């Protein structure tokens, strides 16, 4: 709350409440005969991985010591679901900090602490188990938001694929051998976390957060699943995908946007993608639920098939990882695709970065594909020079990108963008993990996967290798397009930081280090990988213009937690919304991690006790907070329960039942002296009639 949400880079998108709690989900796989050979794959409900957050997590693991010494730089991958609806203020570099008004230590610590706890819980649950791999297609699970760029790829390459996005969901099923129960699923599917629109101000995990919550809710009474089952929905080749699958239309005319540059009347602002329920006036909430439901449903169906149609992951003695930091500044290397010598550049963003996308359009006179007047507007060149004027070498390196922000050259007050990124790979048996810091477009992902698959057979001798790709992970390095897509310079190309050869650079490096995923005896014959240059960690020197909580006040005659108003009826049915407003206090006084700000309670008539049946982790229970008097510190907290109908009850083994309910608010107030005091508020009972 009161913190900018991360993803759309919109100053106006400041948090006002909680639609859904966000989580870190940790998956650990180890060689049972040598537990130092282990990998940790993290899925965080966040815009991306990040250099500072990962550094904080690694420091935390080092401080834990003991058995946790096996986890470190080489084998911890921090991937984000790319949700655009989670709090920001935790990123390492200045550029993504700007829309959030800087760095917020509380937000950063909440993320680091949660990630660490998820790893601890995964570590403490380690037990012998088997992995099963399978795939399915979700044809209506995504669309391509830059098909014009995709068409720039060679026709003979495009003709190998039926779709212009990856429609494949890959699942790894984790089964415990002691009781054959499934302890987790780890899925990979490519779709942007932009179902909730830029005007949404409620924290949530976007469509992948919905998918994970739906799946975890669905197994409550299913004895095939273990207690504390975890469902992971990892992001993959996300770069040019969108969940707004109905296409991009002009909001003023209702006509399709111009294909080449996604404009309406020559401007980007009116061109927006439409999700399945775009007609709802709900900031994209129902579309978000629907796109999550599609991933959830596909995962459930795939799960049912894996025992008969799945592929066992074999080779528990082949769990390996590597990690190296690499500076893309003027990196010269042999192309992995042909016999040329290529070079990457230090980080820069092009003019069309400022045009945004159909998921979140930009402003002013920027357009995708450079068709607008921005690139002929001298004022932008003055602004560019004020920040840093790219020299001729940089401009040639980045061509045909017309550079707007020469970010990689700026280090005042601290680095604006990464030049140093994580190059990391995992192997589990015959399964290879590509860990990408950049948001990989569809065709980039295909080329990268193909290169790794081929090399896994040639170099590592793996028969029938499998591959998954997780992005954006570790350091956040914006986008990754093919050289051809880069040439079009839509948003994704303009955001490909290291120039047209960035994909070739990533592929070259991951092929270079692929031998380090070989057998222990083979790896022992290789020279140790140098760690590489350390990236800057700006946690302690980042700027912050985010004000803290001063104090909370309650009006005369009121106490914190008092019910100010409730919905008028006494009886409700599925599909209705009941809400209550309380005398509130700033939720930043106590984040209630592992707990809740809001609850729905059901009266158990047999015992006369109230039982919690919904918390703010549930999609249909919304917690909102707003200041009513800044000087006096007054605020309200509103809880709204959108009572689930059949659509929202999908897979729920414990649906709403008829009976008496009430709403319960948990808050914490801050006195002028700074002390924090907990309080609660409870409504009267109301009836839900099914």
Task: Map the footprint of another protein across residues 36-55, applying CB under 8 A.
Answer: 38, 44-46
Q: Which stretch binds another protein (CB under 8 A): 114-122, 139-147, 301-309, 474-482?
A: 114-122
Q: Which of residues 254-313 bind another protein (CB under 8 A)?
A: 312-313
Separation of alpha carbons 264 and 252, rounded Å: 8
Separation of alpha carbons 650 and 222, rounded Å: 15
Residue 614 sits at φ, ψ, to 5 deg, of -145, 145
Instruction: Identify the three-state secondary structure at position 305.
Output: helix
Nearer to another protein, 119 or 211 (CB): 119
Q: Which stretch binds another protein (CB under 8 A): 125-133, 366-374, 405-413, 432-440?
A: 125-133
One residue of 2, 9, 27, 257 binding another protein per CB under 8 A: 27
Q: Which stretch binds another protein (CB under 8 A): 121-129, 257-265, 461-469, 521-529?
A: 121-129
Q: Which of residues 308-367 bind another protein (CB under 8 A)?
A: 312-317, 319
One residue of 92, 107, 419, 495 binding another protein per CB under 8 A: 107
Report in angstroms how near the CB of residue 121 gets to another protein at its nearest.
Answer: 3
Cβ atoms within 10 Å, residue 461: 11
Residue 617 sits at φ, ψ, to 5 deg, of -80, -15
Considering the rule CB under 8 A, would residue 603 count as an interface residue with another protein? no
Nearer to another protein, 30 or 455 (CB): 30
Strand partners, 43: 25, 79
One residue of 62, 69, 128, 255 binding another protein per CB under 8 A: 128
Q: DSSP readout, 594-644?
A: TS-SEEEEEEETTTTEEEEEEETTSTTEEEEEEEEETTTTEEEEEEEEE--
Beta-strand pair 431-435/466-470: parallel
Residue pair 46/204 in contact by the 8 Å Cβ criterion: no
- Cβ neighbours for 118, distance < 8 A, ≥ 6 positions apart: 23, 24, 25, 26, 42
End-to-end Cα separation, the chain, in angstroms: 34
One residue of 31, 50, 166, 502 binding another protein per CB under 8 A: 31
Q: DSSP readout, 425-456?
A: EEEETTEEEEE-SSEE-HHHHHHHHHHHHHHH
Considering the rule CB under 8 A, would residue 143 count as an interface residue with another protein? no
Separation of alpha carbons 507 and 451, rounded Å: 7
Q: Which of residues 583-602 bind another protein (CB under 8 A)?
A: 591-594
Instruction: Identify the three-state secondary structure at position 374.
Output: helix
Nearer to another protein, 65 or 673 (CB): 65
Report in angstroms how near the CB of residue 548 gets to another protein at its nearest.
Answer: 14
Report in angstroms how near the CB of residue 24 gets to another protein at its nearest.
Answer: 5
C-alpha 243 chain-centroid distance: 14
Strand partners, 662: 601
Alpha helices in 251-359 (DSSP H): 285-309
- Cβ neighbours for 343, distance < 8 A, ≥ 6 positions apart: 330, 331, 332, 333, 397, 499, 501
Nearer to another protein, 115 or 342 (CB): 115
One residue of 19, 21, 55, 133 binding another protein per CB under 8 A: 21
One residue of 81, 164, 201, 203 binding another protein per CB under 8 A: 203
Report in angstroms how near the CB of residue 84 gets to another protein at its nearest.
Answer: 15
Nearer to another protein, 316 or 501 (CB): 316
Report in angstroms how near the CB of residue 596 gets to another protein at its nearest.
Answer: 10
One residue of 9, 14, 29, 76 binding another protein per CB under 8 A: 29
Site string for another protein, 167-196 (x = CB under 8 A): -------x-xxx----xx------------
C-alpha 278 chain-centroid distance: 22
Considering the rule CB under 8 A, would residue 121 count as an interface residue with another protein? yes
Nearer to another protein, 209 or 584 (CB): 209
Considering the rule CB under 8 A, would residue 227 count as an interface residue with another protein? no
Q: Which of residues 406-435 bind another protein (CB under 8 A)?
A: 428
One residue of 11, 12, 62, 67 binding another protein per CB under 8 A: 67
Report in angstroms how near the CB of residue 226 gets to another protein at its nearest.
Answer: 9
Separation of alpha carbons 275 and 665, rounded Å: 33
Length of the chain: 690
Report in angstroms how near the CB of residue 641 gets to another protein at its nearest.
Answer: 19
**Number of residues located near another protein, criterion CB under 8 A:** 73
Considering the rule CB under 8 A, would residue 202 count as an interface residue with another protein? no
């Amino acid at each position: 709350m009161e913190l900018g949400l991360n993803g759309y880079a919109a100053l106006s998108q400041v948090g006002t409440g909680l639609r859904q709690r966000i989580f870190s989900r940790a998956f650990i796989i180890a060689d049972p005969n040598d537990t130092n050979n282990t990998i940790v794959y993290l899925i965080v409900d966040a815009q991306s991985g990040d250099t500072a957050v990962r550094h904080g997590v690694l420091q935390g693991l080092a401080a834990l010591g003991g058995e946790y010494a096996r986890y470190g730089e080489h084998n911890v991958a921090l991937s984000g679901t790319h949700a655009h609806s989670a709090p920001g203020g935790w990123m390492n570099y200045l550029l993504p900090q700007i829309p959030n008004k800087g760095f917020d230590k509380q937000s950063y610590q909440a993320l680091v602490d949660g990630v660490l706890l998820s790893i601890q819980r995964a570590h403490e649950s380690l037990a012998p188990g088997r992995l099963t791999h399978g795939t399915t297609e979700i044809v209506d699970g995504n669309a391509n938001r830059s098909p014009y760029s995709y068409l720039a790829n060679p026709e003979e390459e495009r003709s190998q694929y039926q779709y212009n996005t990856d429609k494949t969901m890959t699942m790894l099923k984790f089964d415990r051998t002691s009781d054959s129960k499934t302890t987790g699923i780890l899925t990979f599917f490519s779709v942007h976390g932009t179902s909730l629109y830029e005007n949404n101000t409620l924290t949530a995990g976007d469509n992948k957060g919905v998918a994970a919550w739906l799946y975890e809710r669905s197994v409550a009474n299913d004895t095939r699943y273990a207690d504390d089952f975890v469902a992971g929905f990892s992001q993959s080749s996300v770069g040019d995908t969108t969940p707004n699958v109905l296409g991009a239309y002009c909001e003023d005319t209702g006509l399709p946007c111009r294909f080449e540059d996604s404009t309406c009347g020559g401007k980007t602002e009116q061109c927006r993608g439409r999700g399945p329920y775009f007609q709802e006036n709900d900031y994209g909430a129902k579309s978000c639920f629907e796109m999550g439901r599609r991933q959830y449903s596909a995962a459930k169906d795939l799960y049912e098939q894996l025992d008969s149609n799945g592929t066992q992951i074999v080779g528990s003695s082949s769990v390996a990882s590597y990690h190296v930091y690499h500076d893309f500044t003027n990196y010269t290397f042999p192309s992995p695709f042909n016999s040329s010598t290529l070079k990457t550049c230090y980080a820069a963003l092009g003019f069309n970065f400022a045009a945004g996308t159909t998921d979140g359009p930009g402003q002013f006179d920027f357009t995708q594909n450079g068709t607008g007047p921005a690139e002929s507007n001298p004022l932008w060149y003055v602004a560019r020079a004020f920040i840093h004027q790219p020299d001729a070498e940089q401009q040639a390196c980045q061509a045909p990108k017309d550079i707007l922000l020469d970010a990689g050259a700026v280090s005042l007050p601290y680095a604006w963008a990464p030049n140093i990124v994580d190059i990391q790979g995992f192997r589990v048996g015959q399964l290879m993990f590509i860990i990408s810091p950049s948001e990989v477009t569809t065709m980039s992902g295909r080329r990268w996967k193909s290169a790794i698959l081929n090399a896994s057979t040639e170099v590592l001798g793996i028969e029938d290798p499998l591959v998954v790709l997780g992005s954006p992970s570790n350091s956040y390095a914006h986008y990754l397009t093919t050289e051809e897509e880069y040439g079009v310079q839509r948003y994704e190309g303009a955001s490909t930081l290291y120039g047209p050869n960035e994909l070739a650079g990533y592929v070259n490096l991951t092929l270079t280090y692929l031998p380090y995923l070989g057998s222990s005896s083979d790896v022992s014959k290789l020279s140790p990988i140098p760690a590489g240059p350390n990236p800057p960690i700006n946690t302690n020197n980042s700027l912050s213009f985010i004000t803290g909580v001063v104090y909370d006040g309650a009006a005369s005659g009121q106490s914190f937690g008092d019910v100010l108003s409730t919905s008028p009826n006494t009886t409700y049915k599925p599909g209705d919304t009941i809400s209550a407003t309380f005398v509130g206090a700033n939720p930043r006084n106590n984040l209630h991690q592992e707990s809740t700000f809001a609850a729905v309670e059901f009266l158990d008539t047999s015992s006369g006790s109230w039982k919690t049946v919904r918390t703010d982790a549930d999609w249909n229970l919304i917690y909102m907070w707003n200041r009513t008097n800044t000087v006096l510190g007054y605020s309200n907290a509103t809880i709204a329960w959108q009572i689930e109908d059949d659509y929202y009850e999908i897979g729920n083994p414990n649906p709403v039942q008829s009976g008496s309910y009430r709403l319960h608010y948990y808050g914490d107030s801050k006195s002028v002296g700074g002390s924090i005091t907990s309080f609660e508020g409870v409504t009267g009972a109301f009836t839900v009639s099914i």
